[in-house]
Structure 1
Amino acid sequence: MENPGYARRLTLMDAALIVVGGIIGGGIFLNPGIVAQRTGSGWLLLGLWVAGGLLTLIGCLCYAELGARRPEAGGSYVYLREAFGKLAGFLFGWTMLLVIYSGSAAAVATIFGSYATSVFGLSPDLVKPLAVGALVFVTGINLFGIRFGAQVQNVFAILKLAAIAVLVVTGLAFAGARSTQALASSPTEVTGSLAGALLPVLFAFSGFSYLNNLAGEVRDPQRTLPRALVVGMLVVITAYVLVNYAYLAVLGHDGLANSHAPAADVMSRVFGAPGAKLIAIGIAISTLGFCNITLVAGARVLQVMGQDGLFFSSVARLHPRYRTPNIALMMLSAWAIVLVLAANYGQLLDFATFGDWAAYAVTIATLFWYRRRSKERPVFATPAYPLLPLLFLVAVIGVVVAYSLDKPLSAGVVCLVVLAGLPVYAVWRRLFSKVTR
């Protein structure tokens, strides 16, 4: 039976909230403390969050053009396959399955487990079982069509924005005169380079590309996708800068640098234990939304790979009624569950973030191939081309190199996973030589 094809049911609002949900996970509630440890003042800290947001916005603009040129399911896999060949596409999908998307979902599901046990006073031994339960839950939601899944995702995204709004209002309303003092220079010395301070910022902005994987389900994608990417990214930048201002206003720069859970510390300082519990619930919901969109986006990549003959043919099938890649979704979720049980949060986060940003750089390089191949102007074109894409590439390559020096073991593991894909691809092509494209 032939695949019925994806149904274009995602509106502009759905798409924009997918961008928001794909970026805001647990990073904004944890990473600002790390950035504060590596900076000398609140002004510098806020400047890094603005710079990281603007750099990611450039990435969004590049992905917007790529999505407008190829408004179909698969995102980065499709661009790499067309520009650099089937091997490049396969290596992306292979690494996405084993490390990037599965690792991201597993890491953030672990955050969910941690906060859930904290809120309800449960044993720490239940962190992993709750993380597994979260992955099963979000997988089940998306077996019944993109429309239903998008509605649940919209609720998650709105609730996480509400949690951020509570933090911002709390910081602005209760900080008083300290808000200005918090931005002043701190006696804390800067540790490491600005690149090192920028790393946790950029990692908190990861996930902006997930919408492109769902382009086959977006209405009027050539116009909707670029608008959703830009609108969603601007919402995230605004939210992140305001949240960091609130952290500084309540905790001060030194207080933020010494905080391992700044969101909980802000709410606890102002509202006591009930406030800390309230924000913990908000963070748990935020992590569920991130896991949801990560698995949904990754499943579309696997489905297109199966359709191309570069993965099991069974994952290429769409449900005849709901038109969702249910087999691919369950496979990705199952591997994420294995990672939850086999690794800790730090390992998962390191592997996923290195692979994620390396993939962004390689994917945006395909934009130059598309521009050379076609002189026809797309519906959306990246402004200031080629300056902005080149700026993004140079910055991301710098981040990847800095990360490799900072965490050589994690970077080495991801590189080994990519290299392991080479013999797998060769064997796959030999055993399954009938490739549809």
Structure 2
Amino acid sequence: MTQVRYAARLGTFSGTMLVVGGIIGSGIFLSPSVVAQRVGTAPLTLAAWGLGAVVAILGGFVYAELGRRRPQAGGTYVYLRDAFGTFPAFLYGWALFLIMATGAMAAVAMTGANYLAELLQLGDGAGRPIAIALIVVLTVLNVLGVGIGATTGNVLTLLKLAAIAVLVVAALVLSPQHALPVAPLAAPIEAPHDVWSVVVAMGGALVPVLFSFGGWQQTNAVAEELVDPARTLPRALIFGVLIVAATYLLVNVAYLRALGVEGLAASRAPAADTMFVYLGPAGRTLITCGIVTSTIGFLSMVILMSARVYQAMAADGLFFRRMARLHPSWQTPVDALVAQGVVALLLLLSGTYGQLLDYVVFADWIFFGSTAASLFVLRARDRSPDGRAQLHPLGILTFIAAAVYVLVGSVQSNPGNAARGAGLLVLGIPVYLYWNRRRSRSGDVAT
């Protein structure tokens, strides 16, 4: 029987859109308020986003080299497996399947559904059914082929970029037409007064900043579905991260120009408030459409990319064997996509996804740092100078240091959530032992 393989159908444009769509979700519409609260001044607010952009660009270079060295479906799972063994690789896939991807799907679907229900004036209670429909429909589209899933994501990503462009142009070109719609904070924000307080404040601010920048690494999971992945993937990563970095900085300039740092810190919906200042209620409606598009586009990309990780795990004998199969006609991991959708729906219906996501935000950066470190191992093992990362080894070490910085900031800001997140990872240990024992008995080996 001929083995079914992934279809290499995606070029540089689709790869770049995967990167952009996988990063820009709802974070840039919500996180800037938190950042402004934590640093207290406009220059430090922009500095936090600029620093986040630098870290993301370094991460893009790191993952670009990893993609050149291992252009295989599964991305981060493959790099951790080949460098450090199946145990840390499994924990990454476990966290992704249990919470990080599925919880993000539930949270983003609910966010987009609530905005859509408000836009259509459907009333209370309409959000959850819409969110369920979004997860089901987008999962089905991704089941039917990577071309269909990627095209859907491409269109939604272009629409979200267009909406953001309108916001930025309005703030930079137009004059304010409406009064600031934001009530001031109960207590005024305080700017840090010395170097140490700046370091502490920036550490806290980088948590939401880098959370908003997260997602570029998932594109590596679809490497086998890119045309000439050793060339296409690095280009897509660098182009995509640069587009997002420029977008985020311009958006924050727009927010600060419209609202000021006090108004931004107090705003619960800075994008809508910014558009209201310049275009009134029509502007608020327009950006709400953009937020809906952004969240749905992000959801589509997460569904497409994450399922490839579970398929790679299953192919190694470390997950349900059915999830390793690719459909003979559609060439997609149907069982992995369906299982992922089911878990996301269960989290959505349980209402626990937001709390669970808080628990494992720090886990993302454990795996980011570990994956960057895997590049040292793979370099030594491959003994090949081809495709070296920019600024090696300084860039890789800087990225790892940033990951540690975020981890420390996450623990300091909420040690309880960090402890619970660690507990969720620990739960993966007996699961790994079970699957590894089954794998050993059946004679499967990691590929």
TM-score category, normalised to shorter length:
over 0.9
Q: Residue 91 and residue 54 in structure 1: after superposition, are their counterparts in 2 closer, same or farther (change >3 A)? A: same
Q: Deviations over 1:93-113 (max 9, x none)?
A: 111100111111111112112
1:12 aligns with 2:12: yes
Task: Provide the C-alpha distance between the structure 2 equivalents of 1:129 and 1:163, rounded to a whole number of angstroms.
Answer: 26
Query: Which residue of 2 is the match for residue 396 of structure 1?
Result: 403
Task: Provide the C-alpha distance between the structure 1 equivalents of 2:418 and 2:60, rounded to a whole number of angstroms.
Answer: 24
Q: Is the contact between residue 100 and residue 351 of structure 1 (CA under 8 Å) also seen in structure 2?
A: no
1:100 aligns with 2:107: no
Shift of 1:404: 1.7
SS at match of 1:9: coil
1:283 aligns with 2:283: no
Shift of 1:236: 0.4
Shift of 1:402: 1.2
Q: Residue 4 and residue 345 in structure 1: after superposition, are their counterparts in 2 closer, same or farther (change >3 A)? A: closer
Q: Greater shift after overlay, 308-317 or 338-347?
A: 338-347
Q: Residue 276 and residue 367 in structure 1: after superposition, are their counterparts in 2 closer, same or farther (change >3 A)? A: same
Shift of 1:4: 1.2
Q: Greater shift after overlay, 22-31 or 273-282?
A: 273-282
Question: Which structure 1 residue ranges, 4+ long, deviate > 6 Å from structure 2?
Answer: none
Structure 2 unpaired stretches of 5+: 177-187, 193-199
Query: Which residue of 2 is the match for residue 312 of structure 1?
Result: 320
1:236 aligns with 2:244: yes
Amino acid at match of 1:426: L
Q: Deviations over 1:239-278 (max 9, x none)?
A: 1111111111111111111101001111122222222111
Q: Residue 414 and residue 188 in structure 1: after superposition, are their counterparts in 2 closer, same or farther (change >3 A)? A: closer
Query: Which residue of 1 is the match for residue 390 of structure 2?
Result: 383
Q: Deviations over 1:81-125 (max 9, x none)?
A: 111111121111111100111111111112112211211122232
Normalised TM-score (structure 1): 0.94
- Aligned ranges 1:364-379 → 2 under 5 Å: 364-378=372-386
Task: Provide the C-alpha distance between the structure 2 equivalents of 1:407 and 1:258, rounded to a whole number of angstroms.
Answer: 21
Q: Is the contact between residue 347 and residue 353 of structure 2 (CA under 8 Å) also seen in structure 1?
A: no
Identity %: 44
> Which one of the candidate residues 183, 203, 211 is aligned to 1:195?
203
SS at match of 1:124: coil
Amino acid at match of 2:377: W
Query: Which residue of 2 is the match for residue 57 of structure 1?
Result: 57
Structure 1 unpaired stretches of 5+: 177-186
Amino acid at match of 1:63: Y
> Which one of the candidate residues 324, 331, 338 is aligned to 2:346?
338
Amino acid at match of 1:436: V
Query: Which residue of 2 is the match for residue 181 of structure 1?
Result: none
SS at match of 1:311: coil
Q: Residue 102 and residue 88 in structure 1: after superposition, are their counterparts in 2 closer, same or farther (change >3 A)? A: same
Query: Which residue of 2 is the match for residue 268 of structure 1?
Result: 276
Task: Provide the C-alpha distance between the structure 2 equivalents of 1:286 and 1:54, rounded to a whole number of angstroms.
Answer: 23
Query: Which residue of 1 is the match for residue 438 of structure 2?
Result: 431
Shift of 1:49: 0.7
Query: Which residue of 1 is the match for residue 195 of structure 2?
Result: none
Q: Deviations over 1:2-21 (max 9, x none)?
A: 53101111100000010000
* Root mean square deviation, CA, Å: 1.7
Shift of 1:386: 1.1
Normalised TM-score (structure 2): 0.92
Task: Provide the C-alpha distance between the structure 2 equivalents of 1:190 and 1:117, rounded to a whole number of angstroms.
Answer: 38
